[in-house]
Copies of this chain bind each other. A is one copy, B any other.
Amino acid sequence: MLYMVRMEVNLPPDLDPTVRERLVAAEREYSQGLQRSGRIAAIWRVSGQFANYCLFDVADNEELHECVSGLPMFPYISTTVEALSRHPNALGATGS
């Protein structure tokens, strides 16, 4: 099932640089793990903001929550979540 999640990241500007680097590295590893397993189907940066759209493709609402709340940066992220379904005008498997 698909969900569109918009994430805004609010890292404090005065975060210790080492902590920040570790956080960024952990986030990258975690995110790419989810991408490899297909649970993150796509991820885009919102141009001009420390924000992204993340298209999740997971089994259910439970797995969605596990994936999102497991993000190393989750405590610094605010999200909007929308459940998606097939659009009647979508061609072939485009909308899946």
A residues in contact (CB < 8 Å) with B: 1-5, 11, 13, 27-28, 31-32, 35-36, 41-50, 52-53, 60-62, 64-65, 68-69, 74-76, 79, 81-91, 94-95
Is B89 a contact partner of A47 (Cβ separation < 8 A)?
no
Q: List 23 A-B contacts (CB under 8 A).
A: A3-B47, A3-B83, A4-B44, A4-B46, A4-B53, A13-B76, A31-B89, A35-B89, A35-B91, A43-B89, A43-B94, A43-B95, A45-B85, A46-B84, A47-B61, A47-B68, A47-B83, A48-B83, A49-B68, A49-B79, A50-B69, A64-B83, A65-B85
Is B87 a contact partner of A44 (Cβ separation < 8 A)?
yes
- Bound form: Cα–Cα A45–B95 in Å: 9
The answer, among B2, B43, B74, for a CB contact under 8 Å with A61, is: B2
- Bound form: Cα–Cα A43–B86 in Å: 8
- Bound form: Cα–Cα A89–B74 in Å: 16
